[in-house]
Chain A
């Protein structure tokens, strides 16, 4: 059936579909998927034969095709969670490669290519924030690109991306037996480009993508498998997602579509031409979250807190005072942007203009707090937008011990709302912040 009628599909539709003439009736089960919008999608490098950076990409079309896939899942009653896309990571749309997830445990990918390496951090953070027992794989492991759950097994591909040693690691991590399969055709560089799991007992695959020994394994394990033709494979038809009944797959895999229908599945094709320019299809965009772990992330602290910028002066390279201030302020429910040490004056001003904080905290302990703080507050107060923003300074402000009342008065006269010298400074600062919080919230 075509997408346009996707809205009619129902979950667990036990009644026979009139379009299907098969003896077997298939049952869909409710799924939870993780997807990543192709906001930064592009082809700027080539790490598989499908990618040609010299040909322009249509990002709008890619986004439309991706939205179609998501809409189909939602219409089928499945839950789709989104992970925020990260600028500079054009392949992050292929969420399936980010991890393998089962029983509340997430084994996050370790990508083969540097170009994708930074995606792992985003996935680790996402899973950790939601209470998964998550860690990054020790060996190269491209998540559901190469690891597919079929019945009690974990089918695991290697040959191009995931390291064979990641198979043993996954077996240990998930406590499920791993069936290793060797890929031999670089057009089908991930297991999920050559094989799709349809339900607990059934898979479809393209034999020529596998080494002879692996073909034999697949024949023995899945004697009833649906076999893809060359044309099906070229159309990326095996990069498909099944809920046990509905099989969403790239358009153009005509033999697969017919076989699926014959066997009682409901194939639903979607156009993925633009995504395929990066070597990805339906499955690549979809990571299955195989468990009902707490769906919502831990809520951020009460919105009643202040938005605080923590910074140092340009010549001060100390960190720990800033790490501590951030922790202390966060624990009190404030939201902190920590600019770190050695912040140029202009950067501090532009960040303040961008986020319009409720409070700016300048902490300096290298003895230059006074001589750097004076011109800095001048620059801040010169911006009309920041004329009334509370700005305080504290720490070790002079090189010969406490700066003295004269220096403190000069700093206040120049525009700082308060000056906290080392010693009792922290308690006074926290009390200042508390008063400010109350005045902002009333």
Chain B
């Protein structure tokens, strides 16, 4: 009884209710350093013509635990690239949320921190109970923190968050494992990371989780991956509340309005046709700058419209089984068989190269896998290092990309979507040669 009451008041419960009635929950990535602008952004999200949840994305200093620099920036009025939740007073954050957050509008904190105890403490202090990340997904690609240290910190952070269940609300944690470097990571490893991090969350007390998958280069391959992810979630996490969240493309974004909008619409269609429950959008401003509130609202409404269109007139998903499920299963099984403690199993798996994220520079990543975009637009392995997937994957391609080939792979999606709007493309400003 208590658990279901808790779930009803939670982020997970809100998404589940929307999913039951056929609504895709749409969510922005926004984060502004000024409390006033942050509140305006949340209100605009709430009022957008879409089923939305709110986001407060934190700034880079807070993410790195450098709260002194964040405080100095707040004091001197320097604008940061997100909301410094630890540097601001608890009362300031409560004022931002007052009258905005509620049963009809849950708010999630998005951060990117390998060691998030301070952040978890601050969000709990502000009355929130939904956030995201993971001991691997927020350590390897985005920090130099040792993986062991991140895992230890995430154990403590999960336990802190899970403790909220005693207060009558079911805390929610989303894994960022389905993103891993944003692009060029083949889907089998992405969905395995999502499941493994959720197993870690469950082991440390969470009862409501979401599994992520970031849109990649091929709609067919993406559909197969998300269906495999849902199947794996049912197999490995049958006893907790869970849903799948799709991230609109996280790599180099199209420069044209037409290209960016089509890419976002494809993400919304992917979510609907694979039964995902939530979508996190990107905006048409993504290629140039930190998006404004209006950019965000435009993206939320465009995604909601595309999702509605897909529901009314479904397009074929064409997801053949090319072995993504088998690849992810082999990875998950190999890791959980290493040790009963999932955190230590993850550390061992990276040490031995059982898990190895292509192109990730972190010192604890084995750095022996390579991947590329093949002629049909699918992500493929060209080198699998020591990952235990030789039985299910045959690496193809030559292994090392040149710098030009790397750029071509990184901008594959941008070119594909921009080329369809060629006239607009030619008129658009030139973008950085160096990709994000």
Chain B residue numbers with a CB within 8 Å of A135 are 390
Which of B14-22, B235-243, B359-367 is found at the contact surface with chain A? Answer: B359-367
Chain A residue numbers with a CB within 8 Å of B431 are 422-423
Interface string of B54-89 (1 = CB under 8 A from A): 000000110110100100010000111100000000
Closest chain-A Cβ to B376's Cβ sits at a distance in Å of 23
* With known contacts A136-B386, A138-B390, A422-B432, A319–B78 Cβ distance under 8 A: no
Among A314, A327, A426, the most chain B Cβ lie within 10 Å of the Cβ of A327
Nearest residue, chain B, Cβ from A420: B434
Contact assessment for A120 and B143 in the assembled complex, using a CB-CB cutoff below 8 Å: no
**Interface of chain B, main secondary structure:** loop
Contact assessment for B351 and A118 in the assembled complex, using a CB-CB cutoff below 8 Å: yes
Q: In whole angstroms, how far apart are the Cα atoms of A136 and B78 in the complex?
A: 52
Q: In whole angstroms, how far apart are the Cα atoms of A325 and B435 in the complex?
A: 10
Which of A203-211, A235-243, A338-346 is found at the contact surface with chain B? Answer: A338-346
Closest chain-A Cβ to B7's Cβ sits at a distance in Å of 33
Contact assessment for B352 and A331 in the assembled complex, using a CB-CB cutoff below 8 Å: no
Q: In whole angstroms, how far apart are the Cα atoms of A9 and B100 in the complex?
A: 89
Chain A residue numbers with a CB within 8 Å of B433 are 422-423, 425-427
Contact assessment for B432 and A322 in the assembled complex, using a CB-CB cutoff below 8 Å: no
Pairs across A and B, CB under 8 Å, 21 listed: A118-B351, A120-B353, A136-B385, A138-B388, A138-B391, A314-B66, A315-B60, A317-B112, A320-B410, A320-B434, A320-B435, A365-B432, A394-B434, A399-B290, A400-B79, A401-B289, A423-B430, A423-B433, A426-B433, A426-B434, A427-B433
Chain B residues numbered 141-160 whose CB sits less than 8 Å from any CB in chain A: 141-144
**A121-B386, A318-B436, A423-B430 provided; 19 other pairs, C-beta below 8 A?**
A120-B352, A121-B366, A315-B61, A315-B64, A317-B112, A320-B435, A320-B436, A322-B361, A325-B434, A339-B144, A340-B361, A341-B141, A341-B361, A367-B290, A371-B73, A395-B434, A399-B81, A400-B79, A424-B430
* With known contacts A319-B359, A341-B361, A423–B432 Cβ distance under 8 A: yes
Contact assessment for A331 and B403 in the assembled complex, using a CB-CB cutoff below 8 Å: yes
Q: Does any Cβ of B come within 8 Å of A293's Cβ?
A: no
Closest chain-A Cβ to B365's Cβ sits at a distance in Å of 10
Number of interface residues of B (CB under 8 A): 51
Count of A-B contacts judged by CB separation below 8 Å: 137
Closest chain-A Cβ to B135's Cβ sits at a distance in Å of 16
Chain B residue numbers with a CB within 8 Å of A322 are 361
Chain A residue numbers with a CB within 8 Å of B63 are 315, 317
Q: Does any Cβ of B come within 8 Å of A406's Cβ?
A: no
Contact assessment for B434 and A422 in the assembled complex, using a CB-CB cutoff below 8 Å: yes
Contact assessment for B288 and A401 in the assembled complex, using a CB-CB cutoff below 8 Å: yes
Chain B residue numbers with a CB within 8 Å of A401 are 288-289
Q: Does any Cβ of A come within 8 Å of B317's Cβ?
A: no
Q: In whole angstroms, how far apart are the Cα atoms of A176 and B328 in the complex?
A: 32
